[in-house]
């Protein structure tokens, strides 16, 4: 809103305030309909029901949530829901969540999720989708669970891995780095250890406070931001949805929290490329599936360099692609900017590594345009069909071919070359990608 609001801004702001006061909110918080297809100890696997007039097609996607965070991270609100996006284009979409963690779950360690929960969810999704390979998308700790499960289970039917905001080198995390020298003073038997053992884990208020602390500046300036955006319905709806997400955070089980505290925060074990799970070493180099890694440009929990550290550790992966996208820890996944950045790259990636030929979203626009020029329609459809067929043939040559074609089609990007820090442009990536260059425009 301008310093001196215009009449239309005043009217919009008045309407938003009235909506908030009379109806309690602006965000459409209806969850996407889903069906439970499998469950177990702290494991619930859901299939999101297809929308009307849209047929499910292609390989399935499994969304893996982190501990302590509610599953609505993938279904934040209508219009900013990754689930809604996948379902709307006919992608078979599934989710694994863990329910409410209580004191009785205090003895469950990380091996429960790495050896049981995530592998069982992947197999169940594959079977439910007709024994097709699964594209696994994990956010935050969910991404680390997904990588460790893939490394520990080479026989899992995984088509690709997408890791969103998962910090591997915690020495690069500003919130943790200053505290690490203090953590070593007590030799593992200090106040923190005694506290989480007595409480049976990390309690919900502490988890919620830690998440809010990661974006302390936004928390402090939030009232001013709301006041200056009273005429922006979409902004206010997003704030409302994020507040609901934060309020629904849950606790960490005691043993799992202890492992995260000692192995991740103190030992920085993931930065070495391997982690002891269930009495044996699990190495990230054992992952053979292609891996897409996302880092948020303004992420305080998983800064870019903390996430980028995983790239050289994935030496056995068929392909590794690294992307920097706009947003903080949650915003990069389901913020307003994610709709044109993170989601678009995910779509490209999943189509690239799908087992069968899949229509690209742009094909719908091409078909609509062809109705106005009937004589050119066959040529457009033939081209659209041939391109994915080349991708399905061989993985590496396809990536190179796509990289060559994109600059030819979109020559105007040469007018504004991306810098090394530009969003979505990353020259230090192991493999170039057309999708990254597209985001730099």
pLDDT in tens, 221-276: 667 777 777 778 888 889 899 989 888 877 666 677 777 777 777 778 889 998 88
Average pLDDT over residues 73-94: 96
- Rounded to whole angstroms, the Cα distance separating 169 from 61 reads 27
Task: Report the CATH architecture of 34-203+251-352.
Answer: 3-Layer(aba) Sandwich (3.40)
Domain definitions of the chain by residue range: 34-203+251-352, 359-383, 394-439
Q: What percent of the chain has pLDDT over 70?
A: 66
pLDDT in the model for residue 332: 96
Residue with tokens 């659209």: 384
Average pLDDT over residues 156-161: 98
| Cβ contact 77:241 at 8 Å | yes
Strand positions, DSSP E, 280-334: 280-283, 291-296, 320-325
What's the predicted TM-score (pTM) here? 0.73
- Rounded to whole angstroms, the Cα distance separating 196 from 266 reads 15
pLDDT score of 99 more than 90: no
Pick left, alpha or beta for residue 308 (phi over 0 → left; psi -120 to 50 → alpha; otherwise beta). alpha
Q: What is the pLDDT of residues 383-435, one digit of tens each?
A: 444 444 333 333 344 444 334 444 444 444 433 443 444 445 454 443 333 33
Q: What percent of the chain has pLDDT over 90?
A: 44
Question: Averaging pLDDT over each range in 56-70, 122-136, 171-185, 423-437, which range is the top one?
Answer: 122-136
pLDDT in the model for residue 2: 66
């Amino acid at each position: 809103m301008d310093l001196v609001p215009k009449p239309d801004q005043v009217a919009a702001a008045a309407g938003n305030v009235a909506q908030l006061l009379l109806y309690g909110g602006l965000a459409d918080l209806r969850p996407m309909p889903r069906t439970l297809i499998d469950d177990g100890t702290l494991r619930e696997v859901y299939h999101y029901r297809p929308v009307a007039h849209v047929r499910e097609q292609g390989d399935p996607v499994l969304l893996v949530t982190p501990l302590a965070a509610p599953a609505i991270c993938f279904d934040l609100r209508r219009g900013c829901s990754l689930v809604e996006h996948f379902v709307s284009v006919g992608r078979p979409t599934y989710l694994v969540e863990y329910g409410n963690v209580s004191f009785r779950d205090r003895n469950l360690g990380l091996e429960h999720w790495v050896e049981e929960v995530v592998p069982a969810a992947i197999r169940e999704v594959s079977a439910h989708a007709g024994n097709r390979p699964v594209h696994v998308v994990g956010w935050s700790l969910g991404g680390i669970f997904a990588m460790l499960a893939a490394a520990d289970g080479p026989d899992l039917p995984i088509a690709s891995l997408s890791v969103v905001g998962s910090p591997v080198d915690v020495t690069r995390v500003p919130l943790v780095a200053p505290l690490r020298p203090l953590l070593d003073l007590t030799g593992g038997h200090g106040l923190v250890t005694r506290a989480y053992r007595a409480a049976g884990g990390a309690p919900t208020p502490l988890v919620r406070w830690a998440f809010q602390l990661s974006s302390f500046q936004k928390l402090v300036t939030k009232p001013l931001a709301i006041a200056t955006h009273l005429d922006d319905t979409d902004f206010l709806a997003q704030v409302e949805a994020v507040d609901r997400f934060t309020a629904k955070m849950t606790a960490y089980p005691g043993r799992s929290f202890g492992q995260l505290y000692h192995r991740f925060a103190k030992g920085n074990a993931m930065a070495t490329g391997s982690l002891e799970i269930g009495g044996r070493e699990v190495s990230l180099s054992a992952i053979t599936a292609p891996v897409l890694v996302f880092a948020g440009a303004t992420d305080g929990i998983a800064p870019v360099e903390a996430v980028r550290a995983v790239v050289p550790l994935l030496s056995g992966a068929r392909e590794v692609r690294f992307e920097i996208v706009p947003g903080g820890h949650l915003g990069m996944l389901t913020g307003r900017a994610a709709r044109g950045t993170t989601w678009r790259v995910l779509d490209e990636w999943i189509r690239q590594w799908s087992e069968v030929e899949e229509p690209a979203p742009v094909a719908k626009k091409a078909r609509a345009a062809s109705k106005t020029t009937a004589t050119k329609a066959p040529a457009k459809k033939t081209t659209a069909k041939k391109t994915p067929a080349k991708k399905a043939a061989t993985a590496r040559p396809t990536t190179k071919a796509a990289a060559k074609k994109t600059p030819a089609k979109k020559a105007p990007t040469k007018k504004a070359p991306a810098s090394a820090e530009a969003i979505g442009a990353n020259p230090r990536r192991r493999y170039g990608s057309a999708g990254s260059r597209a985001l730099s425009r």
